[in-house]
């Protein structure tokens, strides 16, 4: 049996295991701080912020739900739910695409752009304080190089939107009760 506490894991040498756990802990700490800041400054979740920031960064402020799903790491149903909340808050609109009847276009509204502008300064401050403060310029360049390679490796796999949806098993036919 593997002894993870002592760095013994099937397939991972101790240095890789330690790196993996350090990365996971750092990401969790950063994610927690980001969630707190976004809630406090803009009543947004990090997924909602990602949706709005993705739309705000796009030249015409619109993307299809599929493009959003490929960019935001979140389940399809969760993304649809979050988009519904953003639409209800007046931060985005959703409409059928004129080019593809199967696609739904999501567009950021002026209020959505204002919300991004409101939360962005605090978001940047969290990144500076927690992620970049202990790093040198060379560290940042190295980290960017490493994480870009890791991300690109992961993104080279088929996008999540291309994966077939899992179908729920059909309910068995009801058995009539004896009378």
Count CB neighbours of 15 within 10 A. 9
Mean pLDDT along residues 1-27: 80
Residue 108 β-bridge partners: 92
**Contacts with 51 (C-beta within 8 Å, 6 or more apart), sequence order:** 68, 72, 79, 82, 83, 86, 92, 106
Residue 29 lies in a domain: yes
- Give the model confidence (pLDDT) of 128-178 as tens digits: 999 999 999 999 999 999 999 999 998 888 765 555 556 666 666 666 656
Give me the phi and psi of 110, to 5 degrees please.
-60, -40
Residue 107 lies in a domain: yes
- Separation CA 8–CA 52 (nearest Å): 42
User: Which structural domain, as residue segments, surrounds residue 25?
Assistant: 13-122
- Give the model confidence (pLDDT) of 92-118 as tens digits: 999 998 888 889 999 999 999 999 999
Q: Domain total for the chain?
A: 1
Helices 46-57 and 76-88: angle between axes, nearest 10 degrees: 80
Residue 136 lies in a domain: no
pTM summary value: 0.78
Note whether 76 and 161 are within 8 A (CB).
yes
Residue 86 lies in a domain: yes
Q: What is the CATH number of the domain that holds 89?
A: 1.10.10.10
The band of 73, judged by pLDDT with boundaries at 50, 70 and 90, is confident
Residue in this structure with the two tokens 């390679």, named with its chain if needed: 149
Residue 99 lies in a domain: yes
């Amino acid at each position: 049996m593997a002894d993870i506490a002592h760095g013994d894991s099937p397939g991972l040498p101790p240095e890789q295991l330690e790196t993996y756990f350090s990365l996971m802990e750092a990401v969790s700490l950063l994610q927690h701080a980001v969630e707190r800041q976004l809630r406090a400054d803009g009543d947004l979740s990090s997924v909602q912020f990602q949706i709005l920031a993705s739309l705000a960064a796009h030249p015409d402020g619109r993307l299809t739900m599929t493009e959003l799903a490929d960019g935001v790491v979140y389940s399809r149903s969760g993304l649809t739910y979050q988009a519904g909340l953003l639409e209800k808050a007046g931060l985005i609109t959703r409409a059928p695409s004129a080019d593809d009847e199967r696609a739904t276009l999501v567009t950021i509204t002026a209020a959505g752009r204002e919300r991004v502008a409101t939360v962005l300064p605090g978001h940047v401050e969290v990144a500076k304080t927690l992620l970049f403060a202990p790093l040198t310029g060379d560290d940042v360049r190295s980290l960017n190089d490493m994480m870009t390679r890791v991300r690109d490796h992961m993104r080279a796999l088929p996008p999540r939107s291309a994966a077939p949806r899992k179908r729920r098993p059909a309910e068995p036919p009801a058995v009539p009760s004896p009378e």
